[in-house]
Structure 1
Amino acid sequence: MSGTDPRPVRRRAFVLGTAAAAAAAGSAALAGPLAQAVAAASFGYSDDGSNYVIDTGANLVFKVSKTNGDLTSLVYRGTEYQGYDGKNSHIESGLGTSTVTIKQSGSTILVSVAYGTLRHYYAARSGENNVYLWTNKADSSVTATRYIVRLKKSLFPNSDPDSWDSTTDSVIEAADVFRKPDGTTRAKHYSRLRVIDYNYVGYSTGSVGLYVVRSNHEKASGGPFYRSLLRHHNEGGAGLYEILYYGENQTEPERYGLQGPYVIAFTDGGAPSSSLFHDNLTTSWADSLGISGYVTAGGRGRVAGVGINGRDTSYAYTVGLANSAAQYWGSARSSDGYFSMTGVLPGTYTLTVHKGELGVCTSSVTVSAGATTTLNTITVPSSNDPSNASAIWRIGNWDGTPSGFKNADLMTYAHPSDTRAASWTGNVVIGSGSETSSFPAYLWKDVNSGLLVYFRLTAAQAAAAHTLRIGVTTAYANGRPQITVNDTWTSSIPSPPTQPSTRSLTVGSYRGNNYTFSYSIPASAWLTDTSQYNVLKINVVSGSGTTAYLSAGTSIDAIDLLT
């Protein structure tokens, strides 16, 4: 369920807020800076000896450890939500001994946590049921950049793809992927969503909602299509995440600097106010708080593009900005390709136009503080979109995803062994009308290597050499395709492209580095009898990986034989 329905919800299992839901979410239960006035006579903080105790003057009281900066308590309307298995909410798995200070500036209370070179902040605003968080990671001395909100058990339902019960479900992979008695699979990785798809993640009972509203991810890595765990739930409790760098399926180096705010928001059961969403949130009230690395709105710029020509209008286009320090993105308007990105840190960026998730055009853009960089219409060269190449046949289409292939949709929220998955084996006949839907989204050395594609050629086509292209979106354990044609011609083994080194295909993500393998097939490989089917065999080769779905594998974008 999307979490955008403004009607009352009854024991809603979970809510994942999408970018498209912003308008509807704004009409849900009030939770943000634009919420109705709340009596805040008790706004302030105290010291209980071990923690700073912050009362927002609304319905929320939270505590921060004076020793290590952990969030040790979240009490909303008298109910404690924080904590499971004796664990607190914190950066990574906890920072250890830190210097923790607190100050009040008018209607804002700021808790500052210093741990080595890392700085972390909690802020409360008078009359709001929110906790605002910033994290400034200066280097790799802390392994990852992850904040986890740990929630007590039995407060919210436990029945979703990222939920499991370890008392009844069996572990099938790496201690974090589970199979239920009915054969369906669950894991903390199975969120379904890319970063661009959601504004918040959380849970609702219908009368209480608890969410993490994500930041703009300007210091994260992986771009708009990155997939990562967003939350988990089991019989012992639940967790909500803001992950900026996790080390899993990362396609870019880690970025350092201040990220935030991201927000822990309580509501009366509905979605968080859209005023908290990263595209809408204004924090001028934080400008003078002394947050390390903080850049005001006036110190940022904007990029606006008039439009994009050369688009395939059957696909959504996204424009991204990236350099070693920051990343941003915006959707291109379907009518003309207009796009805009605000709040951009000054600097020179690589601008990439994505068709679906496939980069089809790049350029350089410089952004200045307090100014708008206006770009003339961008034209995507026809040769940059591989779909424009003339093909004898094509399976799928070039969009940087395995969309349309067999089991592709299921793989963002289930393990490949899930009982809902169609058989990963089976061959493909060109001209059958089901070429794409019968071709598996993923190929593994130990599961379905040796897949066969049958196709006929005309006499003229069989008399010429042709190029076969196989586009992939990621690979596990250096899995890559080697092809054989009619058992008479075999390609060399291609070199493996650079891909993430962690699990991907089994943990809900096909996102890696899009890459195209090209094979020059000589005319001598084809059958001269035009009534017979040529047979293309696709094998997955690699000397690494283990067995089954953890053997070397790859995710398919498109396959075609060029004229």
Structure 2
Amino acid sequence: MSGSPNRPIGRRTFVAGTLAGTMAAAGSAALVGPLAGSASAAGFGWSDDGSNYVVDTGAGLVFKVGKANGDLTSLVHRGTEYQGYGGKNSHIESGLGTSTVTIAQSGSTILISVTHGTLKHYYAARSGENNVYLWTDKADSSVSATRYIVRVRAGLFLNDEPDSYTYAPTTIEASDVFEKSDGQTRSKHYSKLRVMDYTHLGWSTGSVGLWIVRSNHEKASGGPFYRSLLRHQSADGGGLYEILYYGENQTEPERYGLQGPYVIAFTDGGAPSSSLYPGTLTTPWADGLGISGYVPASGRGRVAGVGIAGRNTAYAYTVGLANSAAQYWGSARSADGYFSVAGVLPGTYTLTVYKGELAVYSTSVTVSAGTTTTLDTITVPSTNDPGNATAIWRIGDWSGTPGGFKNADLMTYAHPSDVRAASWTGNVVIGSGTETSAFPCYLWKDVNSGLLVYFRLTAAQAAAAHTLRIGVTTAYANGRPQVVVNDTWTSSIPSPPTQPSTRSLTVGSYRGNNHTFTYSIPASAWRTDTGQYNVLKINVVSGSGTTGFLSAGTSVDALDLLA
């Protein structure tokens, strides 16, 4: 769930996530942007070669955009061509096809505008910068545009990280999950990162870095904890993505409108300048360019909260804002829960407080342009956090994630069949001290259904009915738990909650819709001999799914027996 390991930049490649600050320091010698001045660098300008508009930033970067379709057809940095593999260009989705493409220069800015039906896409260059700024305005579903992909020629960067399949010849699932000869798995899906965990991604040789700096994702979907593919590399070449909408394990409808800017950035090997990061980047130079859907800083507002009371200080808290048009988030300060979310489009939003990834409080907040909406201290009611309930026993923590369970960390960057995964079977004994680490993070109908939990009750506890809770974070093919106690009492089959219908557990994501199943177990189900173990069996039931790791399954947040 964290970013890439903290190691020096070398010939290995990496995704820059939570190490952004460290990497920014390492890249301080790189060209930075955006430039504040209006003077043009020597060589800055554009030309028309007949098929493409050719832009020279005057800083060693020359790129071309096709006049017929708006594809990025060339990306030359210091004389080296980086763009393209397999005869394909860099572009929106798989390419727009015939489009109207125009170019204009305004002082030290060049803007290329691409129109295809209701979709508008933009490339901007600034004098003296090794950056390409991109915006995409998708107005409706009539045009497919769920990503921008920068296609990078093979051999320029090396990569044997989880999101690579260069050295993984065996296909083990669909056409996008592979196994190496040593049993480790690789896939473009295995980024390890949630959206809130990274500012940029890409590759470095140590002397040249090529990056995508993501946008603020205000028009994306899924919230701060969403996971999607970010890059890939195979024998043919590599791809860097800005995902505008990703349907896999998606929890929200698609939002429409302008997304960006996101930035293609070259450096001297380090990370891109932090001035390009979402939340930091300002583009006053774009205010008058006529970009469709563009809202300047003056047309945005801010939400700030003086604190959050009722927190469990062992957990990080995040505050999210969302409505049908936009989404934003920010971290709550660990000391007191103070938070600030800036650059918000005017409107009324649902404000949600998350403990880890578990929603524990929500309210409504209205944002106006040019002002700060200040909230008094938010108090999270004790009953809103399931971890506050008194339990006879509890396995895991109520955090909205499977963190701490067996194989949980590995599953964000590997397939469940990976050689590094511990056995998915095995039973659990309450009081052993290994209850959580022995309990698998995922349960499947065809893999480890029927898992047993052994526990003892006192005479007083056995004389009373109790509530069992099982929290889940997502499910595949409507997989859900049905429980059996001591082979004498069986719960009804619960109705499936609303969950994404696509793959999840096998492509690095446990993020769906958090849901808690409750089971009222009568006193007659318990064993009266306090020296004997009670046995809880957890089955996964569903009428859907196929076999193995694609059988119906679910990800576990926590489970407990309440006092």
Equivalent position of 1:493 in the other structure: 493
Q: Which amino acid aligns with 2:247?
A: G
Is 1:25–1:273's contact at 8 Å kept on the other side of the alignment? no
Q: Secondary structure at the match of 1:172?
A: strand
- Alignment pair present for 1:313 and 2:285: no
Q: Which amino acid aligns with 1:213?
A: V
- Alignment pair present for 1:40 and 2:41: yes
Q: Give how far 1:3 is off.
A: 7.5
Is 2:313–2:334's contact at 8 Å kept on the other side of the alignment? yes
User: Which residues of structure 1 form unaligned runs of 5+?
Assistant: none
Equivalent position of 1:67 in the other structure: 68
- Alignment pair present for 1:541 and 2:512: no
Equivalent position of 1:100 in the other structure: 101
The aligned runs of 1:511-530 (5 Å cut-off) are: 511-530=511-530
Distance change >3 Å, CA 269–CA 466, structure 1 → 2: same
Equivalent position of 1:532 in the other structure: 532
Equivalent position of 1:552 in the other structure: 552
| Distance (Å, rounded) in 1 between the aligned partners of 2:3 and 2:433 | 33
Is 1:52–1:64's contact at 8 Å kept on the other side of the alignment? yes
Equivalent position of 1:31 in the other structure: 32
Equivalent position of 2:91 in the other structure: 90
Q: Taking structure 1 as the reference length, what is the TM-score of the superposition?
A: 0.97
| Distance (Å, rounded) in 1 between the aligned partners of 2:157 and 2:424 | 35
Equivalent position of 1:228 in the other structure: 228
Q: Give how far 1:32 is off.
A: 2.0
Q: Which amino acid aligns with 1:148?
A: I
Q: Give how far 1:34 is off.
A: 4.9
Q: Give how far 1:87 is off.
A: 0.5
Equivalent position of 1:390 in the other structure: 390
Is 1:19–1:197's contact at 8 Å kept on the other side of the alignment? no
Q: Give how far 1:159 is off.
A: 1.0
Equivalent position of 2:52 in the other structure: 51
Q: Which amino acid aligns with 2:55?
A: I
| Distance (Å, rounded) in 1 between the aligned partners of 2:19 and 2:225 | 13
Q: Give how far 1:28 is off.
A: 5.2
Q: Which amino acid aligns with 1:296?
A: P
Q: Secondary structure at the match of 1:461?
A: helix
The aligned runs of 1:174-253 (5 Å cut-off) are: 174-253=174-253
Is 1:4–1:24's contact at 8 Å kept on the other side of the alignment? no
Equivalent position of 1:411 in the other structure: 411
| Distance (Å, rounded) in 2 between the aligned partners of 1:550 and 1:3 | 28
RMSD of equivalent CA atoms: 1.7
Paired residues, number: 561
Distance change >3 Å, CA 422–CA 2, structure 1 → 2: closer
Tell me whether 482-491 or 139-148 shows the greater mean CA deviation: 139-148
Q: Give how far 1:27 is off.
A: 3.0
Q: Secondary structure at the match of 2:83?
A: coil
Distance change >3 Å, CA 394–CA 28, structure 1 → 2: farther
| Distance (Å, rounded) in 2 between the aligned partners of 1:144 and 1:459 | 62
Deviations 1:84-122 (A, max 9, x none): 101100111111110000000000000000011000000
Equivalent position of 1:123 in the other structure: 124
Deviations 1:381-430 (A, max 9, x none): 00000000010000001000000000000000000000000000000000
Q: Secondary structure at the match of 1:30?
A: coil
Distance change >3 Å, CA 485–CA 2, structure 1 → 2: closer
- Alignment pair present for 1:15 and 2:19: no
Distance change >3 Å, CA 19–CA 253, structure 1 → 2: farther
Q: Secondary structure at the match of 2:16?
A: strand
Q: Which amino acid aligns with 1:59?
A: G
Q: Which amino acid aligns with 1:208?
A: V
| Distance (Å, rounded) in 2 between the aligned partners of 1:412 and 1:43 | 43
Equivalent position of 2:159 in the other structure: 158
Is 1:108–1:123's contact at 8 Å kept on the other side of the alignment? yes
Q: Which amino acid aligns with 1:414?
A: A
Q: Which amino acid aligns with 2:32?
A: A
Q: Secondary structure at the match of 2:437?
A: helix
Q: Give how far 1:158 is off.
A: 2.3
Q: Which amino acid aligns with 1:290?
A: G
Equivalent position of 1:114 in the other structure: 115
| Distance (Å, rounded) in 1 between the aligned partners of 2:524 and 2:97 | 67
The aligned runs of 1:302-341 (5 Å cut-off) are: 302-341=302-341
Equivalent position of 1:360 in the other structure: 360
Is 1:38–1:58's contact at 8 Å kept on the other side of the alignment? no
Q: Give how far 1:30 is off.
A: 2.7
Q: Give how far 1:25 is off.
A: 6.0
| Distance (Å, rounded) in 2 between the aligned partners of 1:472 and 1:345 | 33
Deviations 1:430-480 (A, max 9, x none): 000000000000000000000000000000000000000000000000000
Deviations 1:260-291 (A, max 9, x none): 00000000100000000011111000000000
Is 1:8–1:269's contact at 8 Å kept on the other side of the alignment? no
Distance change >3 Å, CA 515–CA 504, structure 1 → 2: same
Give me the identity figure in percent: 81
Tell me whether 392-401 or 241-250 shows the greater mean CA deviation: 241-250
Distance change >3 Å, CA 99–CA 79, structure 1 → 2: same
Is 1:3–1:271's contact at 8 Å kept on the other side of the alignment? no
Deviations 1:237-263 (A, max 9, x none): 000000021211110010000010000
The aligned runs of 1:448-459 (5 Å cut-off) are: 448-459=448-459
Is 2:477–2:544's contact at 8 Å kept on the other side of the alignment? yes
| Distance (Å, rounded) in 2 between the aligned partners of 1:45 and 1:385 | 58
Equivalent position of 1:275 in the other structure: 275
Equivalent position of 1:483 in the other structure: 483
Q: Give how far 1:145 is off.
A: 2.0
| Distance (Å, rounded) in 1 between the aligned partners of 2:150 and 2:66 | 14
Q: Which amino acid aligns with 1:141?
A: S
Q: Which amino acid aligns with 1:145?
A: T
The aligned runs of 1:497-512 (5 Å cut-off) are: 497-512=497-512
| Distance (Å, rounded) in 2 between the aligned partners of 1:238 and 1:38 | 35
Is 1:28–1:273's contact at 8 Å kept on the other side of the alignment? no
User: Which residues of structure 2 form unaligned runs of 5+?
Assistant: none
Q: Give how far 1:26 is off.
A: 6.6
Q: Give how far 1:38 is off.
A: 10
| Distance (Å, rounded) in 2 between the aligned partners of 1:38 and 1:19 | 34
Distance change >3 Å, CA 191–CA 36, structure 1 → 2: farther
Equivalent position of 2:286 in the other structure: 286
| Distance (Å, rounded) in 2 between the aligned partners of 1:197 and 1:513 | 20
| Distance (Å, rounded) in 2 between the aligned partners of 1:39 and 1:463 | 82
Deviations 1:308-327 (A, max 9, x none): 00000000000000000000
Is 1:19–1:199's contact at 8 Å kept on the other side of the alignment? no
| Distance (Å, rounded) in 2 between the aligned partners of 1:66 and 1:224 | 36
Q: Give how far 1:24 is off.
A: 3.4
Is 1:320–1:329's contact at 8 Å kept on the other side of the alignment? yes
Equivalent position of 1:256 in the other structure: 256
Q: Which amino acid aligns with 2:347?
A: G
Q: Secondary structure at the match of 1:315?
A: coil
Q: Give how far 1:138 is off.
A: 0.5
Q: Which amino acid aligns with 2:89?
A: N
Is 2:415–2:506's contact at 8 Å kept on the other side of the alignment? yes
Q: Which amino acid aligns with 1:475?
A: A
Is 1:26–1:275's contact at 8 Å kept on the other side of the alignment? no
Q: Which amino acid aligns with 2:342?
A: T
Distance change >3 Å, CA 36–CA 411, structure 1 → 2: farther
Q: Which amino acid aligns with 1:481?
A: P
